[in-house]
A and B are shown apart, each in its own frame.
Chain A
Amino acid sequence: MSVNDEINALVTRCDVGGGEGELDDLTVGVKDNISTEGVETTCGSAVLEGYEPPYDATVVERLKDAGARIVGKTNMDEFGMGTTTETSAHGATRNPVDTDHVPGGSSGGSAAAVASGDVDAALGTDTGGSVRCPAAFCGVVGLKPTYGLVSRYGLIAYANSLETVGPMARDVETTARVLDIIAGPDERDGTCNHGADDYAAAVEEPTADVTIAVPEELLGEAVEDGVRAKFENALETLRDEGATVQEVSMPSLEKALAAYYVIAMGEASSNLARFDGVRYGPGGDGDGWNEAFADARASFGDEVKRRVMLGTYALSEGYYGDYYDKAQNARALVRRDFEGVLDEADVVASPTMPLTPFEIGEALEAPMQMSLADATTTPVNLAGVPSISVPAGRADGLPVGLQLTAGRFEETKLLRVARAFERAQ
């Protein structure tokens, strides 16, 4: 068994695309929840075992048209629900930097494939941090684009109002090159109708006079000392590059994680209703419609069952106002806080994750602790703004990520600041 097999980043190997084009020098991995025509796509779940989509997602079509060689589907937490890539029906992915640790999640296979050199770039999806967390944990670059910049057509939905498809690579320039190809309007996704910029061409341009806001709420007790030290170093590096750093307060961030989970679980309970074993995936047994469906869906893993049932509960009559309405109001406050801060500053900075990668098995024992680790990444999805994780060194031998966030459709500025930081490292 090779080292890369032990990492378990790719769950299905394939070789599609690869003609001439702007990305013909790149091999790419595609997360297993993004449809690839004729190539098994399971969302890391037993309920989609054997499913081969009859069509390509728009992002896959665009990669192929650009000459990228798609060499495999990357492992993920089942339906994107997790922070460690341990809940996959295909088994856990391991962190290439230290195989006793998780790669982060839910796009852990994409990050691990990039970090180990299995691929040059990968697509992940980010609903509450699922591109940025594994990028930080594996020491690579991961971008969550503005909601509406990249088509979600062919992405198997988990929480539509939050999720985005984003590129991951070992450097900012490659990340920007992939974004150049996948971004831009798609008539098959009604939320995707914003023009794209020329990202890769712009990343080397200077970034003088950048103002960086650091929300105190993202530097609380949950942040480990080693991570905090690397973050302070990162701010120093940015200051040396001419940036002005200012501390700000965004009180709504205290409510963001709870709001995120209410909304994500609610949307998941509705989205995952389609997995009934009739149109795709193994069918269930039982006397009658409800029994057979419930049996087919018994193959969901624990985390998926938990979120689907909690989402159902939170949306049920009598509880809706307590949970969902409150969460939507909190979401509006988070958006407003980001808008307010980004009116004054160019980017918001924080550690991507408050801690270094968990040991394998550690988070499965404590699902609530795993969820709390998403506190720095989830607010970004509520606000729909773009955000990137860039490597910022290591603490105790494990990678730490710097998270930078800009205003809606300001990817060019975001990538420029990220590149300036990367260059100065």
Chain B
Amino acid sequence: MDEGIDAEDVKDASELARVTVTDEEAEEFVEEFNDVLGYFETLDDVPDDVESEGDLENVMRADEPEPSLPQDEALENADETEDGYFVGPTVS
């Protein structure tokens, strides 16, 4: 199988996915990525004009305010909060 993906591509995907991987990890992932993407080639001959039936329907409720999770409960698992808000990292 041709080497579709190299360590640089893995690093690119890791940046897009916001997951830090070390250079060593990226090297390790190369072979596994190629194995999996190679296996996905099984799908190459799937026809592209398959009609998928629409048996799903929208479920609506009246657009009226209802109580939701109280603010203090929503915040209780956060590392850091301030005045009822989550504190996130600096946007540089």
Chain A positions within 8 Å of B, measured between CB atoms, are 50-52, 54-55, 187, 190-191, 193, 254-255, 257-259, 261-262, 269, 273, 276-284, 286-295, 297-298, 300, 302, 305-306, 308-314, 316, 322-323, 325-333, 335, 367-368, 371
Contacts and interface: CB of A to CB of B under 8 A. Distances in A.
Contacts of A371: 36
Most A CB contacts (10 A, CB to CB) among B10, B21, B80 go to B21
B65 interface: no
B32 interface: yes
Given A292-B89, A368-B39, A277 B79 contact: yes
Contacts of A325: 48
B1 interface: no
Interface in B14-71: 14-21, 25, 29, 32-33, 35-37, 39-40, 42-44, 46-53, 58-59, 61, 69
Contacts of A287: 90, 92
A117 B87 CA distance: 45
Contacts of B59: 190-191, 193
Given A54-B73, A255-B46, A294-B19, 17 more contacts: A54-B77, A259-B46, A278-B88, A290-B18, A298-B19, A298-B21, A305-B25, A309-B21, A309-B33, A310-B33, A316-B16, A322-B40, A326-B44, A329-B49, A335-B52, A335-B53, A371-B36
Most A CB contacts (10 A, CB to CB) among B43, B47, B73, B74 go to B43
A287 B91 CA distance: 9
A14 B44 CA distance: 49
A368 B36 contact: yes
Most B CB contacts (10 A, CB to CB) among A187, A309, A327 go to A309
A333 B46 contact: yes
Contacts of A367: 32
B46 to A, nearest CB: 5
Nearest to A330: B46
B20 A323 contact: no
Nearest to B17: A312
A308 B48 CA distance: 26
B78 A279 contact: yes
A269 B89 contact: no
30 contacts: A54-B76, A193-B59, A255-B42, A255-B46, A258-B39, A261-B39, A261-B40, A269-B17, A280-B77, A280-B78, A282-B79, A283-B80, A287-B92, A288-B89, A288-B92, A289-B92, A294-B14, A294-B19, A295-B20, A297-B19, A306-B32, A306-B33, A310-B13, A313-B16, A326-B48, A329-B49, A329-B50, A330-B50, A332-B50, A332-B53
A257 B39 CA distance: 9
B18 A330 contact: no
Contacts of A282: 79
Nearest to A295: B20
A309 B29 contact: yes
B92 to A, nearest CB: 4
A277 B37 CA distance: 30
Most B CB contacts (10 A, CB to CB) among A261, A284, A302, A313 go to A313
Contact of B69 (A54, A329, A331): A54
A284 B92 CA distance: 15
A248 to B, nearest CB: 20
A297 B43 contact: no
Contact of B79 (A52, A262, A278): A278
A286 B90 CA distance: 9
Contacts of B29: 305-306, 309
B45 to A, nearest CB: 9
Nearest to A51: B77
A326 B59 CA distance: 28
Most A CB contacts (10 A, CB to CB) among B17, B35, B48 go to B17
A332 B36 contact: no
B14 A309 contact: yes
A314 B33 CA distance: 11
A153 B43 CA distance: 33
Contacts of A305: 14, 19, 21, 25, 29
Contacts of B25: 302, 305
Nearest to A312: B17
Contacts of A322: 40
Q: Which 8 residue pairs spanning A and B have beta carbons closest together?
A: A292-B89, A288-B92, A54-B73, A332-B52, A298-B20, A326-B43, A280-B77, A329-B50
